[in-house]
Amino acid sequence: MINVTKSSLPPFEEYIDEIRSIWETKWLTNMGEKHDKLEKELEAYLEVPIISLFNNGHVALEMAIEVLNLTGEVITTPFTFASTTHAITRKGLTPVFCDISDDDYTIDVDRIESLITDKTSAIMPVHVYGNVCNVKEIDRISKKYNLKVIYDAAHAFGVTVNGQGIGNFGDISMFSFHATKVFNSIEGGALTFANENYKAQLYQIKNFGIVSPESVVFAGGNGKMNEFSAAMGICNIRRINENIASRKWVVELYRERLSGVKGLTLLQSQKGVSSNYSYFPVVFNEKELGKTRDQIHAALAKENIIARKYFYPLTNTFECYNGRFNSNETPVAKYIAERVLTLPLYPELTQQDVDRICSIILGE
């Protein structure tokens, strides 16, 4: 069976060596030695001024909303994982859905301004598939209307734009270190930012609002990363560059086989962007190809190959939102969601695997 992804793990002995000292200190969580070490290493790798680690990316996103004191409406996109939209609604805010651009599937910056009202407090764009949003234009709009910007950079670990780490844009960026992501700490996440005040505030928000043993100043939550997760992160960061290079190799094999095929749209590389090759999405045009996305998905599944309808359905059509939103207002996102598949992609995938997958897609 070929799954859509495979989690990266260090050699078993290496992880055991890394966690051995935990048996000496008996310090399992609450910003221990491993946590602090990973924090420093990630600040350096991501080339960001300040980082704060969390138990997962979703909690980090909710806590980013808290530290920025957002209110009212947040402009975002529906072509994303449930987490982005849920973070907004779970914090009592209203998501306002902006369509995506049809070349890189990130927020369509030409449509943002028309969605701004006197209730808008922020923009929450997503660097989908590791594709970089138009950060320059989003910066201009946010300054003009005095809005905060939180980037969902869950897919964009290690991506750089003109040599600058992707975590340096907007007020805060969120990274996910979930098992399925390019870099994982089993579960985990981080916020990156430049404002020094956020570091102390986030420390309290992720630790129950505790300021000192006898002083709890507000109702914070629990967002702390434990030492076993941090140790996994410390091991995995050692091989991240090799890992991304292997992904690049797989992506190039896919491109060789699938580019130029009528009815298939592949992701274009972005100018000045160094990619992390996190996903390989293909958009299938049923009219040109004579087959629908769902037929391709089923044909692969029959051969035990799992591709993923990522992202489908759009978050603005989820049952939990009871028809509150209308996906016809985001027609590009709707078009892509109905036709996209992300193909299997992980460092150990072989040329043979890629050939088999492509042959099934091409009906050879």
Ligand X SMILES: *Cc1c(COP(=O)(O)O)cnc(C)c1O
Give the binding range for ligand X (CB under 6 A) out of 7-15, 81-89, 217-225, 296-304.
81-89
176 near ligand X, rule: CB under 6 A: yes
Which tokens belong to 37?
Answer: 């070490």
Which tokens belong to 133?
Answer: 């949003």
Report CA 282 to chain centroid distance, whole Å. Answer: 18
Q: Which is nearer to ligand X, 83 or 173 (CB)?
A: 83
What is the size of the binding site for ligand X (CB under 6 A)? 14
Q: Give the span between the Cα atoms of 21 and 114, in whole angstroms.
A: 55
Q: Which is nearer to ligand X, 152 or 171 (CB)?
A: 152
- Cα radius of gyration rounded to whole Å, the chain: 21
Tokens 């138990």, residue located = 55
Interface residue with ligand X among 35, 86, 111, 178 (CB under 6 A) is 178
* Close Cβ partners of 171 (under 8 Å, ≥ 6 residues apart): 68, 148, 149, 150, 193, 195
Q: Which is nearer to ligand X, 67 or 253 (CB)?
A: 67
190 near ligand X, rule: CB under 6 A: no
155 near ligand X, rule: CB under 6 A: yes
169 near ligand X, rule: CB under 6 A: no
DSSP state of 209: T
Interface residue with ligand X among 62, 152, 171, 227 (CB under 6 A) is 152
Give the binding range for ligand X (CB under 6 A) out of 76-84, 92-100, 254-262, 264-272.
76-84
**Contact pattern for ligand X over residues 39 through 68, marking x by CB under 6 A:** -----------------xxx----------
Q: Give the span between the Cα atoms of 321 and 256, in whole angstroms.
A: 41
Q: Give the span between the Cα atoms of 175 and 191, in whole angstroms.
A: 6
243 near ligand X, rule: CB under 6 A: no
Interface residue with ligand X among 79, 81, 279, 346 (CB under 6 A) is 81
Interface residue with ligand X among 126, 234, 273, 283 (CB under 6 A) is 126
154 near ligand X, rule: CB under 6 A: yes
Element holding 53 (H helix, E strand): strand 50-54
Report the candidate in 220, 295, 247 with the shortest Cα–Cα distance to residue 54: 220
Q: Give the span between the Cα atoms of 336 and 283, in whole angstroms.
A: 7
Q: Min. distance of Cβ 58 from ligand X in angstroms?
A: 3
Q: Which residues contact ligand X (rule: CB under 6 A)?
A: 56-58, 80-81, 83-84, 126, 152, 154-155, 176, 178, 189
